[in-house]
Amino acid sequence: MKKMIVASTSTIFESGYLEYLLPTLKKHFANVKSIVFIPFARPGGISYKDYTVIAKKAFETINIDVKGLHEFDNYKEAILEAEGIFTGGGNTFELVNQLYKQEVLPSLKIIVEKGVPYLGTSAGSNICGVSMMNTNDMPIVYPPSFKTLGCIPFNINAHYLDPVKDSTHMGETRETRIKEFHVFNDTPVLGLREGSWLEVKDNKIMLQGKLTARFFQQNKQPIELESGREVVV
């Protein structure tokens, strides 16, 4: 019985860290007193300690304690015994690299599949899909595999951006890059815009937030999914 919040971002414009999600997280982590925070993505090269402090301050507002995974002697045991898990955003390559290096990806999949409440933002959401291959991040390290949790049957493109009319930018759009991916891969991809998230309960995946999401499938035209709609592959 999976119980997941898979969010595009931790912070939206003119909002504090996780602020826009806190009402949802209060319900999501009901009866949870403490969660284990996975800081491996370390945005901007921030230390695990400093990143954990940021997460801790946010969860204090809903009376939940946070302890960074790096603070435990046994990473696997910490994950398997966790009341809840939060994997923060940053660089997906480094996040996945560390999950493999520390040999905790299988343990994380076990507890998510068992129904331990999970929150992922940005990179922490990218790892919920079949693979991390639709991240926007630079490959600053080389993980052993792009395969991730596979707890949802498609990939996430977090922070999805639409083309800007009259823009002078000549690089590829997100849609172009996802179409390139589908030349070689058949895994569906969900473009998740800022402030949107997925609520996963067992095998039911609902789009939440104020915006639509863009769903891409190989050899099909992309479609816009309305908020409150189930994502069906």
Please confirm, yes or no, whether 202 is among the known catalytic residues: no
Q: DSSP character for 230?
A: B
From edge to edge, which strands make up the β-sheet containing 85-87?
65-68, 34-38, 85-87, 118-121, 3-7, 197-201, 204-208
Q: Is 28 a catalytic residue?
A: no
Which is catalytic among the residues 8, 10, 107, 122?
122
Which residue out of 28, 125, 137, 182 is catalytically annotated? 137
Reading the block at residue 125, the tokens are: 């959401």
DSSP-derived secondary structure letter, 216: E
Asked if 8 is an active-site residue, the reply is: no
E strands, the chain, in order: 3-7, 34-38, 65-68, 85-87, 118-121, 155-158, 189-192, 197-201, 204-208, 213-216, 223-225
For the annotated catalytic residues, the residue numbers are: 122, 137, 159
